[in-house]
């Protein structure tokens, strides 16, 4: 039930985790990239009406923006203490949200589910909305592709090594700033595509990013950062929590997440998987 929204959380959390794991930068603008992705989707749909084209265009456009941001605003902060990239990306999110408001207006837009994906699908044991199934499958594919990339390619190996120990990677002669550049691009691209996938479910709105980001933070606090497995499990769990709560108390869906988080904090302060996070 809450699985499809959980999948979106998963995509977001993975992107955030990747960026954090390698660069120890918490991308507070991650939500803004999510929003940007959705709006890019809106733009592309308006231009071509082709959802599949948008699926390709959105991560590329968002990733490109991410690359520009990393190169010109985050890289200069390399070497300073950790609060700086945090502050910077926080400011960036303001700028991005306002920018979107300027161009597309403050009121949100509806995003129509692509006609090919409308309607239910007969799964044998139940009827399931086609689009939601699509989201689940698409996310699974993306995560799998990402896993392949990280496990089987050389670049992926370097990234994984760098997540463990950036000094080692530097010593081995790899240009760490180039790796950061790429990882930030991938992370933001993931956020962008998450935004596109979420758009038919939640509409497109300048503030969609911040609430997703906060929920994503909850996922990360609960599941632990830098742990892909934690991101996936916690993401799905939180998706379910929201779904179930919304079913019984429609208004309390959002609040439920925070209460869940507070409970986890009180019972298992180090998160569900007991990993004391990096830099804690």
Partner 1 sequence: METQDRSTFAAWTRITDFASANSLIVLLAFLAVFPFLVPYTAIATQILISGLFAMGYNILLGYTGLLSFGHAAYFGLGAYGAGMALVYLKMGLIGGVLFGAVTATLGAMAIGFLCLKRRGIYFCMLTLAFAQLFYFLALVVFDNYTGGDNGLRDIPTPPISLPFGISLSVATPLRFYYFVFVLCVLSFLAMRRMLNSPFGAVLQSIRENEKRAKSCGFNTNRVKLIAFVFSGFFSGLAGSLYAIYYHIAPLNTLYWTTSGSVVMMTILGGMGTFAGPFVGAAVFLILEDVISVFTKSWQLFVGAIFMLFVIFFPLGIWGTLQERVFYRWLRQD
Residues that bind partner 1 (CB under 8 A): 20, 26, 28, 73, 76-77, 80, 82-84, 86-88, 90-92, 94-95, 98-99, 101-102, 210-211, 214, 217-218, 220-221, 225, 251-252, 254-255, 258-259, 261-262, 265-266, 269, 277, 279-280
Residues 280 and 276: their CA atoms lie apart, in Å, by 7
Residue placing its CB nearer to partner 1 in the complex, 140 or 276: 276
Nearest-angstrom CA–CA distance, 203 and 211: 13
Dist CA 280 CA 277 (whole Å) = 6
Min separation Cβ 196 and partner 1, Å: 23
- Confirm if 158 and 179 have CB atoms less than 8 A apart: yes
Q: Tell the smallest beta-carbon distance from residue 233 to partner 1 (Å).
A: 17
In the complex, the smallest distance separating the C-beta of residue 228 from partner 1, rounded to whole angstroms, is 17
Cβ closest to partner 1, residue 149 vs residue 249: 249
Helical axes 228-248 vs 253-267, angle rounded to 10°? 130
Q: What Å distances lie between residue 253 and 244, 249, 257, CA to CA? A: 8, 7, 7
Q: Where are the beta strands (DSSP E) in 104-262?
A: 120-122, 127-129
Helix (H) or strand (E) holding 27: none
Measure the CA–CA gap between 110 and 213, rounded to whole angstroms.
20
User: Cβ closer to partner 1: 53 or 95?
Assistant: 95
**Nearer to partner 1 among residue 154 and residue 280 (C-beta):** 280
Least distance in angstroms from the C-beta of 83 to partner 1: 5
Whole-angstrom distance, CA of residue 33 vs CA of residue 71: 16
Least Å distance, CB 238 to partner 1, is 12
**Calpha distance 279→209 (Å, rounded):** 26
Of 30 and 132, the one with the shorter C-beta distance to partner 1 is: 30
In angstroms, give the least distance from the CB of 271 to partner 1.
Answer: 8
Partners of 245 in the beta sheet?
none
Give 73 or 156: the residue with its C-beta nearer to partner 1.
73
Min separation Cβ 177 and partner 1, Å: 16
Spatial distance between the Cα atoms of 35 and 207, rounded to a whole number of angstroms: 8
CB of 277 to partner 1, least distance (A): 6
Considering beta carbons, is residue 182 or 220 the nearer one to partner 1? 220
| Residue 23 vs 42, nearer CB to partner 1 | 23
CA dihedral of 188, 193, 194, 195, whole degrees rounded to 10: 90
């Amino acid at each position: 039930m809450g699985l499809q929204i959980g999948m979106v959380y998963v995509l977001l959390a993975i992107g955030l985790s990747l960026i954090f794991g390698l660069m120890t930068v918490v991308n507070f603008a991650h939500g803004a990239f999510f929003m940007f992705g959705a709006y890019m989707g809106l733009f592309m749909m308006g231009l071509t009406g082709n959802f599949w084209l948008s699926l390709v265009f959105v991560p590329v456009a968002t990733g490109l923006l991410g690359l520009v941001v990393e190169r010109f605003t985050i890289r200069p902060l390399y070497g300073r203490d950790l609060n700086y990239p945090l502050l910077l990306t926080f400011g960036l999110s303001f700028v991005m949200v306002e920018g979107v408001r300027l161009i597309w207006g403050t009121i949100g837009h509806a995003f129509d589910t692509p006609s090919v994906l409308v309607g239910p699908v007969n799964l044998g044991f139940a009827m399931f909305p086609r689009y939601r199934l699509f989201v689940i499958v698409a996310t699974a594919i993306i995560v799998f592709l990402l896993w392949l990339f990280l496990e089987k390619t050389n670049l992926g190996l370097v990234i994984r090594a760098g997540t463990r120990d950036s000094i080692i990677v530097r010593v081995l002669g790899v240009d760490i700033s180039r790796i950061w550049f790429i990882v930030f691009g991938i992370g933001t691209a993931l956020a962008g595509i998450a935004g596109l996938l979420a758009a038919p479910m939640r509409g497109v709105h300048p503030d969609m990013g911040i609430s997703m980001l906060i929920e994503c933070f909850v996922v990360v606090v609960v599941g632990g950062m830098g742990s892909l497995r934690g991101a996936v499990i916690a993401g799905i769990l939180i998706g379910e929590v929201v779904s179930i709560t919304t079913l019984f108390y429609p208004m309390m869906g959002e609040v439920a997440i925070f209460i869940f988080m507070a409970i986890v904090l009180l019972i298992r302060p180090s998160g569900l998987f007991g990993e004391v996070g990096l830099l804690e």
